[in-house]
């Protein structure tokens, strides 16, 4: 009789095992597809606890208060430990993300919501046909959008599908190399981008049209107000890893980086010279079908973080008062210090072409270098190539 009485609970336990296993697999698959891999341990532990609870209940294990407390304690500790990763992720998500991209819809030419810099009088160059196809870095879109509004015919210029596009720096270079555009507005190319152009037999013509400061920023509550170039190099080489070593609090430095071949990452590489750059903070991100990729972290405004960008980006970011720009070698990044050369980390930005046959490209470049074009450079918020 005792053996027969065990048959039903055993069958129930087997069915429960398959049921919970199936549901758990489905939930895990969904978590992988949606990138929520930080829930995996919690889901597995939760499933195990649920199954063990059901089995012990079927076999009447919880006859005493002591057994209930023992199971509850073990299960609670296991669930709490597996919940650490989701709680850390929730905390991280609550931190403000510093947006290093301008909101391009505000700068689209010939739209009611635009914030494009406008000339006080008609441009001396008016293009009607053979419009040069252009692309560029997001930070420079407000600038070349102003050139378009001044010299192109009025019509729709969708930033994603028109003669005037805006992409990331790597995508802009790729479109230039593949002949999709005639000219791009970007920072100087990385070594990898130069090599790609050489492999394709392309000769890059780089025309400087303005100057910009490469800036570093920290959380507003960080007591550090400035660093030297040597200190920045030491931080990004991994030789200095604590803020106390550069006059700050006893906190580990989180030195964030940008993706490879982006304009700001190339600027960091130029600043570092031959000094190797340490690996950036990274996080595993689940993509379609559960594939895992390793990606350079997007900047999170931790109190111990440091990031970098170009000054125009920073004018968009500093508005939220969450970050502050650092002085470099005791000099703040301003239009005046960039123009005078006092700010030590400045660079030119360019119109880059690669052998286009469009006859209006050179005309447009010549106009951009004229007083009218350079006036728009300054009016947008950048520093002209010359006074």
Residue pLDDT tens, the chain, 387 long = 455 567 777 888 788 888 888 898 988 888 878 778 888 899 999 999 998 998 888 888 888 888 889 999 998 999 999 988 888 777 766 666 655 556 778 889 998 766 888 998 999 999 999 999 999 988 899 999 999 999 999 999 999 889 999 988 889 999 999 999 999 999 889 889 999 999 999 999 999 999 888 899 898 889 999 999 999 999 999 999 999 999 999 999 988 888 777 778 888 998 999 999 998 766 543 333 333 434 455 567 778 888 888 887 666 655 557 788 899 999 999 888 988 889 999 888 999 999 899 999 999 999 999 999 999 999 888 889 865
**Whole-angstrom distance, CA of residue 71 vs CA of residue 75:** 6
pTM for the whole structure: 0.69
Closest CA to 159 of 142, 176, 178: 142
pLDDT given at position 288: 36
Pair 234, 247: CB distance under 8 Å: no
Tokens for 236? 């990004």
Tell me the CA distances in angstroms from 351 to 136, 168, 182, 189, 310, one per residue in order: 9, 15, 10, 11, 17
Task: State pLDDT tens for residues 242-283.
Answer: 999 999 999 999 888 887 777 788 889 989 999 999 987 665
**Whole-angstrom distance, CA of residue 230 vs CA of residue 310:** 19
Tell me the CA distances in angstroms from 168 to 2, 220, 270, 347, one per residue in order: 72, 27, 19, 18
Task: State pLDDT tens for residues 186-224.
Answer: 988 988 999 999 999 999 999 999 988 889 989 888 999
- Could you identify the residue written with the tokens 């997001």? 138
pLDDT given at position 261: 77
Closest CA to 116 of 163, 160, 164: 164
**Whole-angstrom distance, CA of residue 213 vs CA of residue 346:** 4
DSSP 8-class letter at 100: -
pLDDT given at position 225: 94
CA torsion sign for 153, 354, 144, 158 is positive
Tokens for 12? 């129930």
Tokens for 365? 């470049």
Pairing of strands 305-310, 254-255: parallel
pLDDT given at position 316: 60
**Angle, vertex CA 80, rays to CA 78 and CA 85, nearest 5:** 110
Total residues found in the chain within this entry:
387
CA torsion sign for 112, 377, 124, 353 is negative
**Whole-angstrom distance, CA of residue 55 vs CA of residue 73:** 17
**Whole-angstrom distance, CA of residue 372 vs CA of residue 119:** 8
302 phi/psi in degrees, rounded to 5:
-65, 155
- The rounded Cα 241 to chain-centroid distance in angstroms is 22
């Amino acid at each position: 009789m005792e053996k027969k009485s065990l048959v039903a609970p055993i069958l129930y336990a087997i069915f429960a095992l398959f049921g919970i296993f199936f549901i758990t697999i489905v939930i895990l698959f969904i978590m992988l597809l949606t990138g929520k891999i930080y829930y995996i341990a919690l889901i597995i532990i939760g499933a195990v606890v649920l199954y063990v609870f059901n089995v012990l209940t079927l076999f009447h294990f919880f006859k005493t208060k002591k057994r209930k407390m023992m199971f509850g304690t073990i299960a609670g500790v296991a669930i709490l430990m597996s919940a650490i990763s989701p709680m850390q992720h929730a905390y991280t998500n609550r931190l403000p993300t510093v947006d290093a991209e301008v909101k391009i819809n505000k700068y689209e030419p010939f739209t009611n919501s635009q914030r494009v810099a406008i000339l006080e009088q008609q441009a001396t160059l008016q293009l009607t046909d053979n419009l040069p196809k252009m692309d560029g870095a997001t930070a420079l879109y407000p600038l070349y959008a102003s050139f378009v509004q001044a010299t192109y015919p009025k019509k729709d210029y969708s930033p994603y599908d028109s003669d005037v596009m805006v992409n990331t720096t790597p995508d802009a270079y790729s479109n230039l190399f593949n002949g999709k555009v005639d000219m791009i507005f970007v920072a100087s190319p990385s070594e990898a981008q130069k090599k790609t152009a050489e492999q394709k037999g392309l000769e890059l013509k780089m025309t400087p049209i303005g100057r910009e400061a490469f800036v570093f920023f920290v959380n507003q509550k960080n007591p550090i107000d400035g660093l030297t170039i040597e200190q920045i190099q030491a931080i990004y080489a991994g030789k200095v890893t604590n803020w106390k070593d550069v006059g700050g609090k006893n906190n580990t430095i989180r030195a964030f980086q940008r993706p490879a071949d982006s304009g700001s990452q190339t600027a960091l590489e130029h600043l570092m010279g031959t000094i190797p750059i340490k690996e950036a903070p990274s996080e595993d991100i689940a993509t379609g079908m559960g594939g895992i990729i390793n990606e350079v972290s997007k900047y999170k405004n931790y109190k111990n973080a440091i990031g970098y960008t170009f000054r125009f980006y920073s004018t968009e970011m500093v508005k939220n008062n969450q970050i502050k720009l650092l002085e470099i070698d005791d000099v703040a990044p301003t239009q005046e210090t960039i123009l005078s050369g006092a700010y030590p980390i400045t660079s030119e930005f360019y119109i880059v072409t690669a052998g286009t046959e469009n006859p209006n490209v050179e005309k447009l470049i010549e106009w951009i270098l004229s007083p009218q074009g350079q006036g728009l450079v300054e009016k947008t918020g950048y520093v002209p190539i010359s006074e």
